[in-house]
Structure 1
Amino acid sequence: MKVIVCGAGQVGTTIARHLATEGINVTVIDSDKEQVRRVDESHDVRGVVGYASHPSTLLKAGARDADMLIAVTRSDEVNMVACQVAYSLFGVKRRIARLRHSGYLEQDKSGLYAAEHMPIDVVISPEIEIAEGIARRLRTPGAFDMVQMAHGLVVLLGIHTEDSRCAVIGERLVDIAQNSDFEGMSIVAVVRKGRCFVPDEQDRIAVGDDVYVIAREDRIDEVMAAFGHRERVGRKLIIVGAGNVGLHLAMKISDASPNVDIKIIEHDLDRAEYVAGELGNSVVVLHGDALDRALLEEAQTGLAETIVAVTNDDETNIFSSVLAKQVGCKRAITLVNKRSYEVLMPTLGINSVVSPSAVTISTVLRHVRRGAISALYTLREDFGEVVEAKITEESRLLRRPLDQLGLPPGMKIGAVIREGKVIIPRFDTQLQVGDHVVVLVTYSYLRLAEALLGASGKRNG
């Protein structure tokens, strides 16, 4: 399979690296010579300097033989034209574009991106996906991450353990799995002091761990309680930033939960007036600086359960979250682009960090892998993914219980969906043809996992 990635920024580079490690032939295009040089030297990919929308650049990148084009440059227009040229001149089979401007996104349902108009197979909007992800987290206030999987039958929860009295602290995973009080959940990954690992059955949960749990949807409350979280869904929400993320989030929350009191703080007067007009009386829009304590007091931030900081500036997001926590806001969800900042968040009291690049990468990989295995969610860009796969006759995981399969240490099956019912696997669980499994796989074992699941060689091409 041959893939062209347009854009050598953080997103494009990370996508290219992931695909290259999976044996895919990847070429990256960017107009910045230095960016291309770094990609060419650091990863097993080919770099091409030029504008991704120019036919000559695409030709040089090998568009005549490419199976897919992924356009994630900073420009919506370049991404759109690159897809058009790739289709019209070179017949590239599949085209994915990242689009940010709401005016373009509104045309997705109008048929603008059909092959006869602007041939884009998949339109990715990080802002909308970020807003929807935050809305899910708000429905599960004790979790720093929450992703629905397997058509909503199971959820991936990221849970911080901070209460030494909670039921799971000090318990071995093998004991947790056998205790009926913890029914309906499987612990698949732990982040401890910045290190992420797949725990074995003898590992114990410690205070301060960030734990990733796959749980049955109907057991979310019990799972959260086991980790010491009994927070109620908030009724007062402060949103900092009225950009596409903030606007979409406010619209989604006000539509789904009209009783929630929402206030938005926006620095730009024109944008504040526009958003106020879009939202009407359902949301209060305040014009000013979110780093101004007087404005935070006017917004009654100290009475709010959650502040969501989603401006385009990392520093504004971080410091407005810290100030809000200082005046009494219980929880902070903060958008951060720079990965180097992520390690600082727990020490600053920020409860949940949102990474736009991680959201985009997860979405792109989900559409690249269209065989028996599909990427569902990226857990830390350098660690691994939660994937869903269908067990076929080719799978090497059949005909023996799980404890006899010799699964690699970087692979853990968290749930099995059989005929619409969720099974949290035990050591004696035996998989059947037709089962769907939700699995954590670290990147170092992804190729092996594909082979075990029977998905190797089934990529879209």
Structure 2
Amino acid sequence: MKVVICGAGQVGFGIAERLSAEDNDVAVVDFSPKLIQQITEILDVRGIVGHGAHPDVLVRAGIDEADMIIAATLYDEVNMVACQVAHSLFNVPTKIARIREQSYLQPHWRDLFSTDNMPIDVIISPEIEVGEMVLRRLELPGAFDTVSFADGEAVVAGVSCDENCPIVDTPLHQLTDLFPDLKAVVVGIYRDGHLFVPRSSDQMFVGDIAYFVAAKGQVRRTLAIFGHEEREANRVIISGGGNIGLYVAKELEQRQKGAKIKLIENDRDRAIKIADNLDRSVVLHGSSLDETLLLEADSPDADTFVALTNNDEVNVLSCVIARRQGVANTLALVNNAAYPDLARSLGISAHVNPRQITVSKILQHVRRGRIRGVHSIQNGLAEVIEAEALDTSPLVGKPLKEIGLSENMRIGAIFREGELIIPRGDTIVRAHDRVIIFAMQKAVRRVEQMFRVSIEFF
């Protein structure tokens, strides 16, 4: 597949890294010679210095033969025009744009991005995607990574195994005997910097991070089995009143009528503006690194402290301060890929990575085959993929134990006619089932092939 990526920043780099590793023909366009030099030195991609919306620059990138353009520059308008040029002049089949300004995304302007106006096939809004991830973490504070699949009927969650986890040192196959009616299965384990798909004889140890797939109605029970019975956050302190912080506060006001929300914003003008946009939240002006201000926000009585500023270091340090003042759960927004492990070592309960969330959303539309959803795990070491099984899929019609799946992938759930099925060895996948698979990066291409339409289908 030939892909042109506009923007060599964190998101553009992340997409280029994943696609080039899978032997796709990738060209990256950016106005910064420094960024282009960096990306071409590290990745096997072609780099073009220039404006991402200019036709002559896109031609140098090979747009006339491209299957897809991904416009992920810092500027919405450049992204939109790049997609328009790709459509109008070069008839590129798939056009994806990152758009951050919420005004463009208002429901009453939905026709703006139609084929007759500004033809963009997929719009990625990082603020909304990240905000929704934060809200899911607040709903399930025992998990540090959560995403929904199968129309919300299945949840994939990551959970830390600490000293209070009662099922450590227990072979996974025994968990099935201990909890026969539990609709959940462990699909991945992260241990000492290494992620792997566990076998039934494997067991979890203290310090591990386990990833499981569970029916939505049994997620809390599954977390309790892991020793996490934290309640949904009701008293929340938010640090940072940017687009993400404001979105989270507004949604909390609407979704949890009894929630008590305090928001800290360092910029006075911004604090006044967001105070006018919120109904029940208390907005405080100042730095979240100020211990006195955190106490003024009643941090010792808070359920969760959420740091959403645009500064990783401020987010991490303010979470440490809040935890020292008695906040049980803390969540930090971090862009630096090296910070998640540091955050965990400092006792921070969870983190969100905007780049990883945006990359996951884009990959959902890049993956070949009948792919309905994608979520990246541990900075791309693995992916959780939801795909629709076709009549020609090698998964269909045979018991799973006879198919011989790669040791680098595991089926976590099957969604069939509104029912979620946790697979066993004798489970048979039917055509049109939606299958949720945990796959190590080296197995992702194989997953795509299993769900592609073969020529015999026609």
TM-score under structure 1 length normalisation: 0.94
Q: How many angstroms does 1:353 deviate by? A: 1.0
Q: How many angstroms does 1:182 deviate by? A: 6.5
| Alpha-carbon distance between aligned partners in 2 of 1:108 and 1:51, rounded to the nearest angstrom | 31
Which AA in structure 1 matches 2:325? V
Partner of 1:3: 3
In structure 1, the residue corresponding to 2:351 is in which secondary structure?
Answer: strand
Question: Which structure 2 residue ranges, 5 or more long, are not aligned?
Answer: none
Assess, with a 3 A threshold, how the Cα gap between structure 1 residues 388 and 85 changes in structure 2: closer, same or farther: same
Which AA in structure 2 matches 1:119? P
The answer to whether 1:48 aligns with 2:20 is no
Partner of 1:359: 357
Alpha carbons 2:124, 2:358 under 8 Å: kept = yes
Assess, with a 3 A threshold, how the Cα gap between structure 1 residues 302 and 150 changes in structure 2: closer, same or farther: same
In structure 1, the residue corresponding to 2:115 is in which secondary structure?
Answer: coil
| Alpha-carbon distance between aligned partners in 2 of 1:426 and 1:371, rounded to the nearest angstrom | 24
In structure 2, the residue corresponding to 1:215 is in which secondary structure?
Answer: strand
Q: How many angstroms does 1:110 deviate by? A: 3.8
Alpha carbons 2:169, 2:204 under 8 Å: kept = yes
Q: How many angstroms does 1:392 deviate by? A: 1.5
Which is worse superposed, 179-188 or 141-150? 179-188
The answer to whether 1:38 aligns with 2:38 is yes
The answer to whether 1:447 aligns with 2:457 is no
Q: How many angstroms does 1:358 deviate by? A: 0.4
In structure 1, the residue corresponding to 2:292 is in which secondary structure?
Answer: helix
Alpha carbons 2:309, 2:315 under 8 Å: kept = yes
The residue correspondences of 1:207-226 to structure 2 (distance < 5 A) are 207-226=206-225
Which AA in structure 1 matches 2:94? R
Which AA in structure 2 matches 1:346? R
In structure 1, the residue corresponding to 2:362 is in which secondary structure?
Answer: helix
Q: How many angstroms does 1:232 deviate by? A: 1.2
Partner of 1:88: 88
Q: How many angstroms does 1:286 deviate by? A: 0.4
In structure 1, the residue corresponding to 2:147 is in which secondary structure?
Answer: strand
The answer to whether 1:330 aligns with 2:328 is yes
In structure 2, the residue corresponding to 1:265 is in which secondary structure?
Answer: strand
In structure 1, the residue corresponding to 2:74 is in which secondary structure?
Answer: coil
Partner of 1:188: 187
Alpha carbons 1:102, 1:244 under 8 Å: kept = no
Alpha carbons 2:389, 2:433 under 8 Å: kept = yes
Which is worse superposed, 352-361 or 44-53? 44-53
Which AA in structure 1 matches 2:272? E
Which AA in structure 1 matches 2:297? A
Partner of 2:371: 373
| Alpha-carbon distance between aligned partners in 1 of 2:177 and 2:7, rounded to the nearest angstrom | 48
Question: Which structure 1 residue ranges, 5 or more long, are not aligned?
Answer: none
In structure 1, the residue corresponding to 2:273 is in which secondary structure?
Answer: helix
Cα deviation code 1:274-304 (max 9, x no counterpart) = 1000113x11000011101110011001110
Which AA in structure 2 matches 1:360? T
Which is worse superposed, 27-36 or 37-46? 37-46
Aligned Cα root-mean-square deviation (Å): 1.9
Partner of 2:239: 240
Cα deviation code 1:139-190 (max 9, x no counterpart) = 11211111111001110011111134x3321111111133335621110111
| Alpha-carbon distance between aligned partners in 2 of 1:122 and 1:352, rounded to the nearest angstrom | 29
Which of 311, 314, 319 is residue 313 of structure 1 equivalent to? 311
Partner of 1:414: 412
| Alpha-carbon distance between aligned partners in 1 of 2:423 and 2:323, rounded to the nearest angstrom | 40
Alpha carbons 1:97, 1:123 under 8 Å: kept = yes
